[in-house]
Amino acid sequence: MKRSFLLIFLLALLLAAAWLAPAFKTDPGHVLINFGDWTVETSVLVLATAFLVLWLLVQLVAWLWRMPVTAARRMQEQKAYKQLEKGLLALTEGDWGAAEKALEKSASTQGKATAHYLAAAHAADSQDKSEKREYCLEQADSGGSKKRFLVELTRAR
């Protein structure tokens, strides 16, 4: 949706530029800025282009500033997905210890961890670790009636 909005905005901008081009050809406008000892004299189109270039540079710097954080978050998410897959495979195989460790690691690195903790609680229960099971169920119960229902359903099982 963001791309389609940007495409429509650019198309509207091009249409507006085509509509205003004849007016700026006959009279390009005149901008005079005095600030202290400085005087800047230019046309309206050059000033508008300068503002556009400045805005693009600010956007580029902001993107470059956020890039390391974004890359680190993506790497952390990939690592969590690998741990989740490892944990679910170990859970399916009946390797409860490995499943519990991998599922807890995957849950600790992601924000949406209800399913991770529920699976870890299942693995802990299969090993008769009641304290660990309760800890995982408490971590899974992070709010919301649907999550609370799933946690209580898992606890009942």
Over residues 85-122, the pLDDT tens digits come to 888 888 778 887 888 788 778 776 656 677 777 788 87
pLDDT digits (tens, 9 = 90+) for 48-80: 889 999 999 999 999 999 999 999 989 988 888
Three-state DSSP state, 83: helix
* Local structure of residue 36 (DSSP, 8 states): T
pLDDT attached to residue 23: 82
Quote the percentage of the chain above a pLDDT of 90.
25
Calpha distance 132→100 (Å, rounded): 9
pLDDT attached to residue 144: 60
Burial class of 98 by CB neighbour count within 10 A (0 to 12, 13 to 18, 19+)? middle
In the predicted structure, residue 128 carries a pLDDT above the cut 60: yes
pLDDT attached to residue 17: 84
The better pLDDT of the pair 149, 26 is held by: 26
